[in-house]
Amino acid sequence: MLDKVAPTVRSPRSGFATARAALADGADPVALALDAADRAQAAAGDGIFTALVPRAEVERKAAAAAARARAGEALPLLGLTFSVKDNLHVAGMATTLNCPVVSMAPQESALAITRLEAAGAVLIGKNTLDQFATGLNGTRSPEPLCRNALDPAFIPGGSSSGSGVAVAAGIVSFSLGSDTGGSGRVPAACNGIVGLRPSLGLVSTRGAVYNSRLLDCIPIFATNVDDASEILGLIAGYDPLDPWSRRDADAIGTAPMPASSARLAIPRRDQMRFFGDADAEAAFAANLDRLRGLGFTLEEIDFAPFEEAGRLVFQSALVAERLVEYEEIITTHRDAIHPAALAAIEPGRGYSAKQAFETLYRMRELKHAAEIALADFAAFVVPTVPTIYTIDEMLADPMVRNGVMGTYTYFVGPMDLCAIAAPGAPARAGLPSSLSFIGLAGQDGVVSGLARQFQRQV
């Protein structure tokens, strides 16, 4: 049995509204940044960060931003702080993928990070992750394990575990992660915050270490929908240097907007699974009742195509794509890799080129099926996770239970959808449930608008 530690108390000083109110009252943005740096340092032994920006560097960057603001430059993120998952490059900091033998030395930061700093935000540190971003639970990491911000007995969710906890614990104002099969939404669900997965190509992934170039995106963690959407608006846009960037990225609305339809799709009741968690099932029903109370009509659709698309992410030749980034590492440093991470990467060696093409063809067919199924709905609504496990439960059955966490998230990438997760009614052990609003590519503003309506009702 793992020893429990006291949960980190969420600090209101990290929120957007609080920081801006403090600035309006004359607070020093440098002091706000240093306060966050001190909170991060106090949590340095809690498995949330792989590295912290030195306090003197935080002070220097915050002072530079403050000077720009005094000179009349508009800095929408002045006074706000953030952290990033340690598979996103930051110039001058090692990128480790949470693996002790990996130490990349990037010369340039990821474009999303550059844009945030240009808007006045100050980076505090790099967050832990399920090693190589291969997991949805947060325990595929070196010790000390990152723990749930609300109850340390429970998993934090992964693979962007530290990114979710850093926000939920009030250490930083917001954070960035990566999302292949749910890593930008599962940690949000586990820690009671918002996780926003943008449409593929809406945010440049230049400067990321990929798990899958076909499916990866950079998600945002924040305490509420408006904050997450504001960050999306600042980092979204066409990047001519990123071959995966959408040509229409600048035309896609990112701010929460009203839906043109009051119809929401939900999975057929007989196809839903909560893996014995009656509290999670009851919380989902309560969340749907809230949507009905807001005037929405809920209609069941066939979940089978979505479930099949989800299986492709980790049970098909798509797994071989991970070898592009990681084959040399797992070959030369096998003993340094977490066994569960190795078990998630190595099966890629067993697939043929023929199987890869067959998978890509099927992925295209299922994407088309999603377009047809969701064409007349404002969004598809599902639980973000079907249950949440304690750390002990996850470690007792790490492969099966990790897969359980992706039941309602895996399909978003291969079907080319966008999604946002927002906290809902209480579920297991009093932890909040989470509802995901999922839309066709380019409907980012619509799903955020729906999530904002829902979050205000909770």
DSSP string, 389-458: -BHHHHHHSHHHHHHHHTTTTGGGTTTTEEEEEEEEEE-GGG-EEEEEEEEETT-HHHHHHHHHHHHHH-
H-assigned helices in 95-160: 111-118
CB distance 130 to 137 below 8 Å = yes
Token code pair at residue 341: 């991470």
Is 183 part of the annotated catalytic residue set?
yes
CB 4 within 8 A of CB 152: yes
Q: Which of 159, 173, 178, 433 is catalytic?
A: 159
354 carries an active-site annotation: no
Sign of the dihedral defined by the CA atoms of residues 73, 79, 80, 86, in that order: positive
Q: Is the dihedral of CA 389, 185, 262, 273 positive or negative?
A: negative
315 three-state secondary structure? coil
Largest CA distance in the chain: 63
Q: Give the orientation angle of helix 16-24 with respect to helix 225-235, to 10 degrees.
A: 80
Count of other CB atoms within 10 angstroms of residue 92? 10
Nearest-angstrom CA–CA distance, 183 and 418? 13
Closest-CA residue to 269 (of 418, 382, 437, 389): 382
Which candidate in 14, 61, 83, 85 is catalytic?
Answer: 85
Residues with Cβ within 8 Å of 211's Cβ and at least 6 positions away in sequence, in order, are: 87, 132, 133, 134, 178, 180, 321, 322, 325
Query: Which one of 160, 183, 212, 434 is the catalytic residue?
Result: 183
Helices (H), 49-120: 55-70, 111-118
Asked about 316 being catalytic, the answer comes back as no
Which two structure tokens, joined as six digits, stand for 91?
A: 């110039």
Q: How far is CA 113 from CA 167, 220, 379, in A?
A: 17, 12, 29
Which positions are annotated as active-site residues?
85, 159, 183
